[in-house]
């Protein structure tokens, strides 16, 4: 049984999408903030377009749909497991269930959960989003992101993951006054059914990178 810590009431936003960019507007706010996922995805956008052109739209759509289905199911299993509401009847995606089963020992390193699929925003950064989890991981308060991948990830490939998690750390600090100790990326790998864990303590470094992502995103919106 996992312990949940009530820190504040997190409001549900209105969500809209424009030109492939998701925007959030929270109650009592007069403007929409772009999602941190849209902002941190700006540097990989061109690479994705080139990949789609290389493999063809039909194959790209097939691969993307399969990855989205796998990832959504894995997130759902992980969330229900942490809420202690997971049951065998939820086993509707065999591949994601298989990957989740390998991840369970690492999910057991989580406790004292503050946020789980929780909407957050920052007026300072002008960003919003929905964080996977903010909780203690091995006894240290962390932003924890759940990912799936077909093959193992190299650290150099996933800078945007760390930047995104740092954004959530900043949002959480602004909303609650609580500072996370680290960011944690948990990647469930389909190819060999392994689990990769990336832990980062140098959050300030990624905060500086986040600001450069925001500037690049803002320029793209005016092109």
Is there a contact between 206 and 183 (Cβ–Cβ < 8 Å)?
yes
- The pLDDT value given to residue 120: 96
Q: What is the distance between the terminal CA atoms of the chain, rounded to a whole angstrom?
A: 50
Give tens-digit pLDDT for 70-93: 999 999 999 999 999 998 778 889
Average pLDDT, the chain: 93
Strands of 195-200's sheet in order across:
110-122, 127-137, 140-149, 182-189, 195-200
Give tens-digit pLDDT for 13-32: 999 999 889 999 999 888 99
Choose among 144, 143, 133, 146: nearest CA to 170: 143
- The pLDDT value given to residue 46: 67
Percent of the chain's residues with pLDDT above 90 = 76
Question: In a 10 Å sphere around its CB, with 0-12 CB exposed, 13-18 middle and 19+ buried, how is residue 77 labelled?
Answer: buried
Evaluate if residue 223 carries a pLDDT over 70. no
Choose among 160, 156, 123: nearest CA to 145: 160
Is there a contact between 154 and 112 (Cβ–Cβ < 8 Å)?
no
3-state secondary structure of 170: helix
> Higher pLDDT residue, 204 or 223?
204
Evaluate if residue 59 carries a pLDDT over 90. no
3-state secondary structure of 90: helix
Domain boundaries, the chain: 14-220
Residue environment code for 133-158, b if the CB has 16+ CB neighbours within 10 A, otherwise e: bbbbbeeebbbbbbbbbeeebeeeeb
Give tens-digit pLDDT for 117-168: 999 999 999 999 999 999 999 999 999 999 999 999 999 999 999 999 999 9
Evaluate if residue 207 carries a pLDDT over 80. yes
Confidence of residue 52 (pLDDT cuts 50, 70, 90): confident
HSE on the CB side for 55, CA within 13 Å? 13
- The pLDDT value given to residue 159: 94
Confidence of residue 42 (pLDDT cuts 50, 70, 90): confident
Choose among 123, 161, 168: nearest CA to 33: 123
Give the position of tokens 């939820």: 90
Work out whether strand 110-122 and strand 33-34 pair parallel, antiparallel, or are unpaired. unpaired
Architecture of domain 14-220: Alpha-Beta Complex (3.90)
- What is the mean predicted confidence (pLDDT) over 37-60? 83
d(CA 196, CA 194): 7
Choose among 59, 188, 47, 176: nearest CA to 121: 176
- The model's pTM: 0.94
Question: In a 10 Å sphere around its CB, with 0-12 CB exposed, 13-18 middle and 19+ buried, how is residue 171 labelled?
Answer: buried
């Amino acid at each position: 049984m996992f312990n949940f810590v009530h820190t504040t009431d997190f409001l549900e936003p209105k969500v809209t999408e424009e030109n492939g960019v998701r925007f959030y507007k929270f109650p009592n706010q007069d403007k929409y903030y772009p999602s941190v996922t849209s902002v941190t995805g700006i540097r990989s956008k061109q690479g994705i377009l080139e990949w789609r052109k290389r493999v063809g739209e039909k194959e790209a759509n097939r691969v993307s749909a399969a990855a989205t289905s796998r990832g959504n199911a894995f997130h759902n299993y992980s969330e229900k497991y942490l809420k202690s509401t997971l049951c065998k009847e939820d086993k509707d995606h065999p591949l994601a269930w298989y990957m989740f089963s390998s991840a369970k020992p690492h999910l057991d390193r989580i406790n004292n959960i503050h946020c789980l699929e929780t909407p957050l925003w920052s007026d300072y950064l002008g960003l919003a989003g929905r964080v996977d989890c903010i909780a203690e991981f091995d006894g240290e308060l962390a932003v924890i992101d759940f990912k799936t991948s077909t093959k193992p990830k190299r650290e150099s490939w996933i800078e945007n993951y760390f930047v995104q998690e740092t954004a959530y750390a900043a949002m959480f600090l602004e909303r609650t006054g609580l500072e996370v100790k680290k960011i944690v990326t948990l990647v469930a790998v389909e190819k060999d059914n392994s689990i990769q864990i990336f832990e980062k303590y140098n959050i300030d470094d990624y905060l500086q990178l986040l600001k450069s992502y925001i500037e690049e995103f803002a320029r793209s919106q005016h092109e």
